[in-house]
Structure 1
Amino acid sequence: MLKGIPKIISPEFMKILLEMGHGDEIILADGNFPAASCAANLIRCDGHGVPDVLEAVLKFFPLDTYSNHSVSLMKVVEGDPIVPSIWETYDSVIKKYDDNFDGFEMVERFDFYERAKKAYAIVATSESALYANVILKKGVVTD
């Protein structure tokens, strides 16, 4: 064990975060997401929700300042009455760690799946909220 690393970040998870380079993407996936069938690198984070994982990751993970959107969400399917309140939580968590965050990119469901297949890794959580999937694009460490 090491000091200062949240217990939610397993050794395998930390290794993935360290391996990622500028522009690489990681998906924090809810419990309904087809993580195993989409992932090049699958990290299990069972028993945890996306907000807790997001909070832990952003302590170490710089968001990309060179792209238009460093954080993307799965857009609600047209006609679906769901209004994802979890997105407000994400906004609050991200703004704690990134003063420059200016909003989410909304990605159509099947386009989101295609991006997930190209992502560096997918973190499979037990998040029960619908439309709780989030893509983080890694930035550059400047300090």
Structure 2
Amino acid sequence: MSELMMLMLAFAAQVESQSISDRVTGAQAAMRKMALRWRGGGRSPYGYLPAPMSKEHGRVGWTLVPDPDAVRVIERIIAALLDGKSPHAIALIALMLNADGVLSPSEHWKAYTRHVPRHRRHGDGRAEEEARDPIAQTHAMSPVRP
């Protein structure tokens, strides 16, 4: 009798697993059909910045918009590549950009994220509380660790 109950529970779990899989697959397919939807995470491609979807697209999710500073750099690189006849054109372009103080893509992203307001993370205020806690200070200064 207990074996029959276990088989029924296993079958119910298998059905639920399949229904979850179907829902996730359907949601991903719907997201692929959304115009302008950016599904990426982390750093956006150089030349683009993440921005919330516009009101006309329901303000759900994120999209990519051109970054004017990076676009100017990309246009400059392309123009230099088209004009360059040297086999070392890429190295010369890199030297030119460095001499003019143009940030590399990773440094450009770091500079951009420093100016973007961030939400406070969980536990940000906790470190200051712990630093002022006399018990924590005593423990930190004690050479004996429990």
TM bucket by the smaller chain? under 0.3
Q: Which has the larger radius of gyration?
A: 2
Q: Which protein has the bigger strand share?
A: 1
Larger relative CO (CA 8 A, sep 6+): 1 or 2?
1
Q: Which protein has the bigger helix share?
A: 2
